Chains A and B, each alone.
Chain A
């Protein structure tokens, strides 16, 4: 079994699976049980300033999206940061870290955007012996209205300023947690690293309304007939989170900087994908909230089996391996030609490919009277829609045309690599095509 030990910012944990700052990490009781279950680290539920803690709503705080068999696909919440006393949290953190020296314990913090507030809390956190801090600049509801959370995370200058304060008043690693509720994630990421952040983590939750109660005419979750936008997380957000991680990983200004990936990690494969896109480790919230702490056992066994199969002996071996292959559209090879091919043995004759291609694509699939479906190479543009709608995995595949082969659709032969930057139809083409 491959060794999953992962060192992130100098903090070593037995595996790259950390619990994200959220209800699973809200108290000592949970965190001890999480460590016993095998989690490599935790980011403690976000702490606020000294004084009376925040309050949460007393009605439902979650909304959800499900598949037909009630599989939870997306979760949304209107919970705030910890509603427990600061000193109680700090005492618990101290005890837990002392008992689990081999696990990562990171303290998430969100205090007002004033230097004094940070100056006051950071020494208290330092005294717990925790391995580092995470700045919660991401929470999209409640705290943002008070000038914290995503209200800070949406202004790069604030991010840089607060990060600098933390690097001044705290000696250990500082992770800046980014909000996805912005237009281009590279700006807040650059600001964090300009402020000397050791890493960024992302994504926090996405502004969302999961459903509307059509009887009460109110968004869900409904509190006394009204609802508010909440933060979306879980499997549904993973594609969005992966793109944001990749954008930071390949941005010349931030490439190679440590990233802790968050957002929809539910299986070992999700973790492997995020790490291939440049994340040094992953954080998990919804999967644990859905299935309990035990899910980490599948993540551990799955990742090590895959690493064994691939011959990787350390997570370092594959971290960032996919980053060079994330490129801009303009650099994609326009001379790469494929055609859909239907495996008649595997085909169950549902006709979904036909409906999709005939009604909404390129009329490239033929249907015979006895329901045999075949691709017309002269019309197929290789869009992949038929592959995506086919219920049988592997039934329709994309076959690559070899260099020099005839593309029956264009009547031309397949030529070597060329992209849009040199394409004759591109008014800004750098050099004309040969």
Chain B
């Protein structure tokens, strides 16, 4: 190993393979059976349980925990998958501290909720290890549905439609299915190629064809899909990224955080992946945290997150912020990028303090510079590639409560659609609900 964290510039192999392996191991080690029983025993089996209400997919949490407690984790997993076919991924990536576990009455009582996420993982891992698919398809309906985007929303929609007996073709312009599960989620949340394994397990239902390398702007047009299929579902996520709008943004070393993460997720060998000595991440959401933490884990000497508002406004949860801090990431708040300096490649970033005056965020005029070999932009993703016929709302495809778009016969869900938070679990819920409405619509049409 020739490089180390202090090697100047953007370098690969700052850490040994063994250290990288530990750094990128499972964030939460899986529970063993005994631990799961002890954790499950803490559940009070609440009436009209607040955790279930807090789950965007409304998993019957008290029931599945009780099924774990009585030694039937496979039945527990079935309870989970009934509501959320990507319950395995959600168990790993959901910000449970802001969802089910925040609502847990034991959180209120003692500040320590039932470990719902880890229990969900325990159950789903066990059923998935059986390598058999727990659902069967209804009699074929003869109807065909096109799904564009093979992320959580598209996959959940496709699975529910297939279950109902419809034929589904899923198109995605990338080379692999999975969406951000495959290309975005932090590596230590989805280890051992889980995203890909989950997709192939999900396809075990049958009746779903995946066509990669095809999408809007890559050979597909909405009108043609509408002509060929009985219904269309769009789950294309947010493919664009916001610009910094600071001078020097074009210098080498200024990159999109999502692209960096995608590259990291696809890397066969993490020691071949270059990372800066001094990394600065601009943003305050989950993407910013993930880019920062993973840079640090790759061996960057210093990693700083610069967020333009106060910590309480950050999109990343307290847990995520603590995680970053525990990995040695420095979080600066109330600062915004003013300029990127450097001769061709970035060498420094200039930040300006901000203050909220009359509800508007403004620079105070006071600036300072941080050394930076690499600057990651994580200031939000934007809708890109959505067919022009669709009405938008707040920069996203406008949908109603049943996930219907403004165009008849076209549904949308997940990050690309209006409503709901940009989370894996929300995408699953919306994809599933769209499938139910598509099914009802197609069947009513006779």
Residues of A participating in the B interface, judged by any CB pair closer than 8 Å: 67-70, 348-352, 354-355, 367, 371, 391-392
Contacts and interface: CB of A to CB of B under 8 A. Distances in A.
Contacts of A349: 46, 50, 105, 108
B38 interface: yes
A355 B45 CA distance: 10
B47 A354 contact: yes
14 contacts: A68-B38, A68-B69, A69-B37, A70-B34, A349-B50, A349-B105, A350-B47, A350-B105, A351-B47, A351-B48, A352-B44, A354-B47, A371-B50, A392-B109
Interface in B331-362: none
Contacts of A355: 47
A348 B41 contact: no
B47 A352 contact: yes
A3 to B, nearest CB: 40
Nearest to A351: B47
A103 to B, nearest CB: 39
Contacts of B48: 351, 367, 371
Contact of B46 (A68, A70, A352): A352
B214 to A, nearest CB: 48
Interface residues of B, number: 17
A395 to B, nearest CB: 10
A293 B291 CA distance: 56
B108 A69 contact: no
- The prevalent SS among residues of B at the interface is helix
Nearest to A354: B47
B106 interface: yes
B40 interface: yes
Given A352-B45, A354-B47, A355-B47, 20 more contacts: A68-B38, A68-B40, A68-B41, A68-B69, A69-B38, A69-B41, A70-B34, A348-B105, A348-B106, A348-B109, A349-B50, A349-B105, A350-B47, A351-B46, A352-B46, A352-B47, A371-B48, A371-B50, A391-B44, A392-B109
Highest count of chain B CB atoms <10 Å: which of A348, A352, A354: A348
A354 B44 CA distance: 13
A49 to B, nearest CB: 46
Interface in B133-161: none
A214 to B, nearest CB: 11
A392 B48 CA distance: 18
Contacts of B46: 349-352
Chain A contact residues: helix, strand, loop or mixed: loop
Contacts of B69: 68
Closest 3 CB pairs of A and B: A351-B47, A68-B41, A355-B47
Interface string B235-277: 0000000000000000000000000000000000000000000
Contacts of B38: 68-69
A371 B53 CA distance: 12
B44 A350 contact: yes
Contacts of B45: 352
A354 B109 CA distance: 18
Nearest to B44: A350
A70 to B, nearest CB: 7
Contacts of B106: 348
A348 B103 CA distance: 11
B70 to A, nearest CB: 11
B71 to A, nearest CB: 11
A412 B38 CA distance: 48
B37 A68 contact: yes
B240 to A, nearest CB: 41
Given A349-B50, A350-B47, A354-B47, A67 B41 contact: yes
A237 to B, nearest CB: 22
Contacts of A371: 48, 50
Nearest to B107: A348
A328 to B, nearest CB: 36
A354 B47 CA distance: 7
A245 to B, nearest CB: 31
Nearest to A68: B41
Contacts of B41: 67-69
A69 to B, nearest CB: 5
Nearest to B38: A69
Contacts of A392: 109
B47 A348 contact: no
Contacts of B49: 351
Contacts of A350: 44, 46-47, 105
Contacts of A68: 37-38, 40-41, 69
Contacts of A391: 44, 109
A335 to B, nearest CB: 33
Contacts of B108: 348-349
A355 B49 CA distance: 11
Nearest to A391: B44
Contacts of A69: 37-38, 41
Contacts of A70: 34
Nearest to B41: A68
A36 to B, nearest CB: 34
A228 B46 CA distance: 39
Nearest to B34: A70
Nearest to A66: B37
Contacts of B109: 348, 391-392
A391 B46 CA distance: 10
A67 B50 CA distance: 26
Interface in B24-59: 34, 37-38, 40-41, 44-50
A51 B105 CA distance: 64
B37 to A, nearest CB: 5
Contacts of B40: 68
Contacts of A367: 47-48
A349 B50 CA distance: 9
A432 B106 CA distance: 52
A352 B37 CA distance: 21
B73 to A, nearest CB: 14
B100 to A, nearest CB: 14
A351 B108 CA distance: 14
Interface in B94-121: 105-106, 108-109
A190 B3 CA distance: 89
Q: Pick the most buried of A69, A351, A354, A392: most chain B CB atoms within 10 A of its CB.
A: A351
Nearest to A392: B109
A371 B106 CA distance: 15
B254 to A, nearest CB: 49
A355 B47 CA distance: 6
